[in-house]
Amino acid sequence: MSSSDDAAPHARIPADVDTPDKIVYGLTARQLAILAVAGVTGYGIFRAVGTLLPQPVLLAILTPLAGAAIVLALGRRDGLSMDAWLLAAVRHTRSPKRLAPAAGRPTAAPAWAPATDTPAATVPVLRLPATAINDTGVIDAGSHAVALVACTTVNIGLRTGNEQAALIAGYGRWLNSLSGPVQIVISAQRVDLSSHAQRIADNAETIANPALADAARDYADFLDDLAARRDPLWRTVTVAVTAAGDKGRDTEVLRRAEHAASALSALGAQTAVLDGGRAAAVLTCAADPYTPADVTWARALPDAAITGPGD
């Protein structure tokens, strides 16, 4: 039996903060304005041609106008009011469809870019904010340095009320201790089960026990079948901490990353400050999230020389 002190913490959050005020008959000022303009337009048409046209023809003119006004005032699509949605559609139609991520004339595509039918002078090239990654995992973003912390999630729903309150308080203390901008990225990526199954199948050949080898092969077949029939995803949580300044910012950003890792590990999450190779792996997978990739193995740094086996 749980006591009253073990009750789950509750906080009332209003869900209608951004809801427009109702003026009359449950209608907002925007809806009233649309209906008023439609009413004035319909009345003007009636006064102008009401005595010249038969009544069925006049109804055929005014009915679509009234229906369009009602749909425009009361309709919604994709979470937007119909007038805002139509305005966005018109702006999208009239805007240019080729945009460059920089002002001025786009630069020519680099030599490593794939060939296209588009002239090279009109191909936009996206310049990433990160310019370098060192061995310790510090990412040089120009005006500031960034370090990445990988962490797992904590299932707070299975905890008691006191435990939930303690976890929330601990998370709040970490947020209050921050002295610089921090970004928490939660993303879902496809799991590369095929390569994992291949590694298991290869290792099964080295198992001396026939029963264990058969179990490993069956597990590899199961992973291959799961990758073919399903679209497995996994959730990754990455915390990016920053530090600015001209001197000592690399040391400072690593100190902040270690502080974030220790503070989040106290909540029950498994954390790790990423070194250069693993940070490069995370950025590589983030640039193409729809390609199955494994971020657990490190990548070579951008300025590292790649060599093959010696002759």
- For residue 64, the Cα-to-chain-centroid distance in whole angstroms is 42
Res. 48: pLDDT tops 80: yes
Percent of the chain with pLDDT over 90: 17
| Averaged pLDDT of the chain | 81
Q: Of residues 201 and 288, which shows the higher confidence score?
A: 201
Query: What tokens appear for 175 in the block?
Result: 């947020």
- What 84-88 contacts at long range (C-beta under 8 Å, 24+ apart), as own/partner pairs, is none
Mean pLDDT confidence for 242-257: 89
**Residue 274 confidence (pLDDT):** 92
Does the domain at 132-191+232-287 match CATH 3.30.160? Answer given as: no
Which of 1-10, 155-164, 171-180 is predicted with the least confidence, judged by mean pLDDT?
1-10
Query: What tokens appear for 232 in the block?
Result: 């497995």
> Residue ranges per domain, the chain?
22-94, 132-191+232-287
**Residue 257 confidence (pLDDT):** 93
Give per-residue pLDDT as tens, 84-135. Answer: 888 888 988 887 766 555 555 655 666 665 566 655 445 555 567 788 888 8
> Rg for the chain (alpha carbons), in Å?
30
Mean pLDDT confidence for 57-67: 87
Give per-residue pLDDT as tens, 134-166. Answer: 888 899 888 889 999 999 888 888 888 888 888
